[in-house]
Structure 1
Amino acid sequence: MSKPKNWPATLPYLKAPLYGKDISATHIQFLRTRPQDGDIDQVPTAPASSPATETPCPRVKIQAITDRSHPAYGQFGLFAAQNIAPGELILAYLGRLHGRATTSEESDYDLWLDREMDVAVDAAREGNEGRFVNDYRGIEGKERANARFGNVFCEKWGEVCVGVWAVGGGSKAKGDGKKKKKSEGGIKKGEEILVSYGKGFWEERRKDGGDDGGEDQ
């Protein structure tokens, strides 16, 4: 299968990161620099065999939102096709890599990969399943996100990408703080994968007269 089920017919499906015209040699050097062992800010690595970088990704499926109370009712969302463990990389978020000069303030799919290096990824006009991730706000029974965005070095393409990760998996204090246990998290098969777009996103939407809820996918 060359494209995932329910992929828009008019939208190019990416199987690797796409470089915009303004991506410079400096950007490329940064993107293709493998994280060094022992670096306190080390970016996690996804091996070339990881299902998170398969295209289409077997861990997820694009589904129509049929719940009338859902902010994105009548649109689409991204759902887990299998159980996903806490802290696990779900998939890479693919799109067009670009610098600040070509950042579109109107795009709902534009994410910073690294602000200091001035490189972002926009999945508005082309991308993969990652672009269908909705925000958790306004969804009945969802008080917080079950996934988050975070960078990952993908060995399949030999570069740093934005990843979609399941939340949880870390340790937290229990009781008097002396005992530790694994924090809850993970995503069950069939559950919608939800992130937080951030307060800044919704503030801009409110300025434009938008509502606090799912985006038009």
Structure 2
Amino acid sequence: MASGAKLPVKNWPREIKFLTKPTLSEKLDDTILGPLGFDKKPGPRFAGTPSENVAIKQITNPTHPAAGEYGLFATKNLSPGSHILDYLGNYHETVPEDTDEASNYDLVLARDIGGTGRGVAIDARFAGNEARMINDYRGVAAKPNAEFKERETGIMGVYVVVNNGVKGFRGIRKGEEILVSYGRSFWSERREAIE
């Protein structure tokens, strides 16, 4: 993004390209794109972005694991099971030669597309939308209040969990941080890299 250019949403990182639809790796062919419902372009099936449901805010709580960084917060009350936004980034095949091993923003969409044994993931390290700002719940809340799940074939959505096991859970309230579980594999891989 050019210096002085208007940010697409408040607090968007200048070095990250803001996407309104995903980009596709050159390595993805019709064998993968067809079952995902894509041509050589992702098409118009994605939820509008920027999203009216969320805002990016700096985390000021010193005990938060991402203190000083940013998180994603609800701009209105979001009921259990409701769609918050889609996760946008670069769709790529889950093979080493098409995967950025250093990315912390890579989310597996499908491990086996159309019985081919080939998987696809979405990486928002260098380009994405507000969904890339969602933090893990660990160290912040007892349970996640949101989850990643396929909204329709080829599209990963972020949803308010229906029941997170917390008594009286009514969804995500306006002003609350949207938190997911990154999964055990995310944290195990990072622990192994440190050791």
Output the TM-score relative to the length of structure 1.
0.75
Q: Please name the residue that 2:24 is paired with.
A: 19
Structure 2 segments unaligned to the other structure (5+ residues): 1-5, 39-43, 114-118
Preserved CA contact (<8 Å) 1:94 1:130: yes
Q: Please name the residue that 1:149 is paired with.
A: 148
| Count of equivalent residues | 177
One of 52, 55, 61 as aligned partner of 2:49: 55
- Cα deviation code 1:138-157 (max 9, x no counterpart): 11xx111000000012xxxx
Q: Please name the residue that 1:179 is paired with.
A: none
Preserved CA contact (<8 Å) 1:2 1:56: no
Quote how far apart the aligned CAs of 1:185 are.
4.4
Preserved CA contact (<8 Å) 2:79 2:171: yes
Q: 1:16 to 1:2 in 2, by over 3 A?
A: farther
Whole-angstrom CA distance in 1 between matches of 2:60 and 2:31: 45
Q: Secondary structure at the match of 1:190?
A: coil
Q: What is the letter of the counterpart of residue 12 of structure 1?
A: K
Q: Which portions of structure 1, spanning 4 or more consecutive aligned residues, are displaced by more than 6 angstroms?
A: none
Whole-angstrom CA distance in 1 between matches of 2:194 and 2:86: 31
Structure 1 segments unaligned to the other structure (5+ residues): 34-46, 154-158, 173-182, 211-217
Q: Secondary structure at the match of 1:113?
A: strand
Matches within 5 A, 1:132-143: 132-139=133-140, 142-143=141-142
Q: Secondary structure at the match of 2:128?
A: coil
- Cα deviation code 1:48-97 (max 9, x no counterpart): 6xxx8121100000000000000000100000011101011100000000
- Cα deviation code 1:126-179 (max 9, x no counterpart): 00000000000011xx111000000012xxxxx621111100169x9xxxxxxx
- Is the counterpart of residue 162 in structure 1 residue 156 in structure 2? yes
Preserved CA contact (<8 Å) 1:167 1:185: no
One of 46, 62, 67 as aligned partner of 2:61: 67
Q: Please name the residue that 1:119 is paired with.
A: 120
Preserved CA contact (<8 Å) 2:7 2:14: no
Q: Percent identity over the alignment?
A: 43
Q: CA RMSD in A?
A: 2.4
- Is the counterpart of residue 31 in structure 1 residue 73 in structure 2? no
Output the TM-score relative to the length of structure 2.
0.83
